[in-house]
Structure 1
């Protein structure tokens, strides 16, 4: 599957609703959940956790790892770098136990977060994707949703933790197996996965000139098949389509009606750079429509995701990208309610 994040358009899709085992791509959900907790003030990159005796017995020396030991505290930042750069199974378990009290609690949070963001056909049974008799599964559609939410909600954390060539911990240098970073211009991750049951998979992303693509490849029989397909798909996505920039990140798009607010409307701005995407050489004018369930109810904070911009291009299904509130709207006081009521009579 190949999606243009800047327009929301699906550029290529084959069996995107077919379930498969994501293997270590599961760790993207663990990283995303950690990002949500960090931005919510419930987790700090500087706080440290120790490897439990149970985690040591089960995960020391098992699969890809950071070689964590029970004898030293490790910061959340280091654990996340291990998860995102060298696919550390042990780091994912230590983070889960430390942040949620147990792996089971963390996994429950992963599944709740998946439902919240619209991953309608996924389930997680582990924080790291280790084989669990098929309890962990996902689809290309859902992984594209996960990548979109992680990148748009947490752009700074995404840039810091993803797209690294590898890491060195305890004097042990390990490389990132990401097949496109360094080979595709603008590529910056995201995560490979492999088990004998799952085959070889990859969730990847790259950005050029404000246009970001997300791709999913799954169940490849060899790493070379996965890697070659990933590079070819990304290059094709950038080369075979033209784009027209509609709005810059934070650019004003329109207004939404507000109920019981200090003002009757709120400006809507682009959550990221918004483009319309066309097959190369096609000249068309996109039809743009703001969609939201309204009127919105005050109070509203600045930066809330409250609407979507629908982009309709002839010959392709319409796509949607998120819109945010451009400023805060507090609840109306008594006088403002009176004024709004009078104004409403003349609308």
Structure 2
């Protein structure tokens, strides 16, 4: 049975509609991109989960090199779980060299060259290395087929409902690889929120020097838009030009997708326009600091009858500049929760409803471990329930 608790309502009734003429940033950009420049576009405020702009977000498209974000995410999962170490080395096999040496974006890996996971991740995130992606997949999973299976399993686990991967690097594969903008935002959010230290280590670099070559990152917003730090471009003749990107200002992070752009220039301008507009057209009202207690949930068969729910990240509510809409907050979960529960486990959602804005949901996690109840706990809980 779903439980909900509502405890905050604002007093202003100003309609939450974006101003027709938002304040111009110093770059002069003040509006979302046109459908011609970005047939697919999505902008989400990660601090609130609110969608700020949406155009065809559930339309499937070929992500090209944006595929590599999932390859990096799987590697991050393995690093943070202790299964691999960034310093361990893998080797470029003869087969990988035969098929991927200097094909498309590359690190120029040599046949039988031993390279660290750390070097490969820098190559993939900074210069979109096709060879590096394959070497990483073979070295950590034994084959690209096994790695792709891990990619698809990870996609299902984090809630990518309409995506599939066929290769670790996004090279053309007759349509086996496809995503949606909604799913890419889900992936980008998991990458940033679940692995913040690794994200900062590997994304947002402008250049890579490796194997005697110096190459630049083609990310259109990092180093150009204040606060931008990634994430990944993509292009093939089949896919057109796309980008999954993110930027953070004053503790507020936006994440965006543009896809299907006809040219690289159109893609770059669309990306910059959309994220600048997001920061300038919308303000933010802080709600909860990272780690603060938001509420509690009932627990069944646990050594405690309740567990505190905390914000795993700073939570705020986005609203159009110059407005103060009513805000209603509620906690929702399928409950009572069943023990055992691990501290840090997502167990509930904070629902944010602001007048004129789409309803959004932000995960809440358990503050403490709750073990299964023993006989004494059951007796105590039973008496407490009666009283």
TM-score range, shorter chain: over 0.9
Distance in 2 of aligned mates of 1:36 and 1:207: 23
Distance in 2 of aligned mates of 1:75 and 1:259: 47
Q: Structure 1 residue aligned with 2:318, among 277, 295, 310?
A: 277
The runs of at least 4 aligned residues of structure 1 exceeding 3 Å deviation read none
Consecutive unaligned residues in structure 2, runs of 5 or more: 1-41
Q: Give 1:331 shift.
A: 2.3
Are positions 1:138 and 2:183 aligned together? no
* 1:12 matched residue in structure 2: 53
Distance in 1 of aligned mates of 2:367 and 2:326: 26
Higher RCO, 1 vs 2 (CA within 8 Å, ≥6 residues apart):
2
Q: Deviations over 1:132-183 (max 9, x none)?
A: 1111111111101111111111111111111111211112111111000111
Are positions 1:341 and 2:382 aligned together? yes
How many residues in Structure 1 have an aligned counterpart in Structure 2? Answer: 346
Distance in 1 of aligned mates of 2:265 and 2:203: 22
* 1:65 matched residue in structure 2: 106
Q: Structure 2 residue aligned with 1:167, among 208, 220, 224?
A: 208
* 2:264 matched residue in structure 1: 223
Q: Give 1:288 shift.
A: 0.5
Indicate how the Cα distance of structure 1 residues 71 and 100 shifts in structure 2: closer, same or farther if over 3 A, else same. closer
* 1:201 matched residue in structure 2: 242
Q: Deviations over 1:248-284 (max 9, x none)?
A: 1111111111122221111111111101011111112
Are positions 1:33 and 2:74 aligned together? yes
Q: Give 1:238 shift.
A: 0.3
Distance in 1 of aligned mates of 2:335 and 2:133: 40
Distance in 2 of aligned mates of 1:327 and 1:166: 42
Distance in 2 of aligned mates of 1:306 and 1:45: 31
Distance in 2 of aligned mates of 1:160 and 1:254: 33
* 2:298 matched residue in structure 1: 257
Note if contact 2:93-2:112 (Cα within 8 Å) is conserved in structure 1. no
1:292 aligned counterpart, secondary structure = strand
Consecutive unaligned residues in structure 1, runs of 5 or more: none
Query: What TM-score, normalized to structure 2?
Result: 0.88
* 1:186 matched residue in structure 2: 227
Q: Give 1:24 shift.
A: 0.2
* 2:128 matched residue in structure 1: 87
* 2:190 matched residue in structure 1: 149
1:227 aligned counterpart, secondary structure = helix
Distance in 1 of aligned mates of 2:94 and 2:281: 53
Cα RMSD over matched residues? 1.0
Note if contact 2:91-2:135 (Cα within 8 Å) is conserved in structure 1. yes
* 2:274 matched residue in structure 1: 233
Q: Structure 1 residue aligned with 2:217, among 158, 172, 176?
A: 176
Are positions 1:126 and 2:194 aligned together? no
1:13 aligned counterpart, secondary structure = strand
Q: Structure 2 residue aligned with 1:107, among 126, 148, 152?
A: 148
Note if contact 2:46-2:255 (Cα within 8 Å) is conserved in structure 1. yes
Distance in 2 of aligned mates of 1:296 and 1:303: 14
* 2:330 matched residue in structure 1: 289
Distance in 2 of aligned mates of 1:257 and 1:156: 33
1:226 aligned counterpart, secondary structure = helix
Are positions 1:315 and 2:356 aligned together? yes
Q: Deviations over 1:51-101 (max 9, x none)?
A: 111101000010101011123311111111111111000110011111111
Query: What TM-score, normalized to structure 1?
Result: 0.98
